[in-house]
Amino acid sequence: MKKHLKLTLLALAASSALSVSAYAHRTWLLPSATVLAGKDNWVTVDAAVSNDLFYFEHQPLNIDGLAVMAPDGSAVTPENVAKGRYRNTFDVKLTQDGTYKMMVLNQGAFASYKLDGQQKRMRGKPETIAKDIPAGSTDVRISEIQGRIEIFVTSGKPTDAVLKTTGTGLEMVPVTHPNNLYAGEKATFRLMLDGQPAAGLDVEVVPGGIRYRDKLNDSKVTTDESGTFSVTWPTPGMYWLHANIRDKKSRIENAERRASYSTTLEVLAP
């Protein structure tokens, strides 16, 4: 009995030493509403990084790369931007009818290298990181990050101008409008990587609310050759969807490219 306990404690110690990046921290935006009626509505959005959805328990999501697009394609300045301990928050006034898209783009690079026998890490811009690595470094490994987090909010009748993709990184083309989601119904989306279908990619689908139940009820769906996947929502609520891919298609020479896409979708009751 004692021997078993010792082994278990050793195993725990070993795993926590390795677990610096082992936690699958989820990055997300959470709007106060996605379906609105009337004029001059406001939406408040929370931006956070956490384990459990959609709870604020770890750190805020950096929103330096925040962009808000109105139904007519114009840029909207968010208001009341606030930085908190566990979440950052911003407000958007919906002056137009139609669908808004709010995005946080995380585009950067990081490098790991050995210098004077020491393992080092650094962050930088994709355009300059290679130059910033000190001379004499060995075992240089550079990764370019292309992260996209998006949400969609509709005032009145849904529109689709904001659903257009840019052709860079991992993006989602909604076949089903993202503000037309109801429990029990099937919704279809398509993932694109650099403007091409992202085939064979695993998409995580996680419903929020784990704090008040035992089972996570998450699911995984794989995109087909056209990058398409479907979800039939079991219950109403907020869902987090996420996919990521690593390849060599970085604009930095000899670097790995890590592209990811996350979205929070609101599924209404039928």
Partner 1 sequence: MRLTISAAVTSLIATQAAAGDATISIDIPRLTVAEYHRPYVAFWIESASGDRISNLAVWYDVKQKDNEGNKWLKDMRQWWRKTGRELALPADGLSSPTRAPGTHQISFDATAKPLADLPAGEYQLIVEAAREVGGRELLRIPFQWPPKDARKLEIKGENEIGAISFALKP
Q: For binding to partner 1 (CB under 8 A), which residues are involved?
A: 35-39, 41, 156-158, 180, 182, 268-270
How far apart CA 21 and CA 67 sit, in angstroms, is: 28
Angle at 208 between CA 204 and CA 210, to 5 degrees: 105
Closest CB 41 distance from partner 1, rounded Å: 7
Closest CB 155 distance from partner 1, rounded Å: 9
Of the candidates 172, 213, 223, the one whose C-alpha atom is nearest the C-alpha of residue 53 is 213
Strands 256-267 and 138-155, sheet pairing: parallel
Question: Which of residues 67 and 163 has its CB atom nearest to partner 1 in the complex?
Answer: 163
Helix (H) or strand (E) holding 121: strand 118-124
Q: Do 265 and 178 meet the contact criterion of CB atoms below 8 Å apart?
A: yes
Question: Which of residues 40 and 64 has its CB atom nearest to partner 1 in the complex?
Answer: 40
Closest CB 144 distance from partner 1, rounded Å: 41
Closest CB 53 distance from partner 1, rounded Å: 23
The amino acid present at 147, given as its one-letter code, is: G
Question: Which of residues 20 and 37 has its CB atom nearest to partner 1 in the complex?
Answer: 37
CA atoms within 13 A on the CB side of 213: 9
Closest CB 176 distance from partner 1, rounded Å: 13
Question: Which of residues 28 and 100 has its CB atom nearest to partner 1 in the complex?
Answer: 100
| Full 3-state SS string of 96-136 | CCEEEEEEEEEEEEEEEEEECCEEEEEEECCCCHHHHCCCC
Question: Which of residues 233 and 261 has its CB atom nearest to partner 1 in the complex?
Answer: 233
Both tokens of 18, joined, read 């390795």
Closest CB 268 distance from partner 1, rounded Å: 6
Question: Which of residues 33 and 67 has its CB atom nearest to partner 1 in the complex?
Answer: 33
Both tokens of 16, joined, read 């926590």
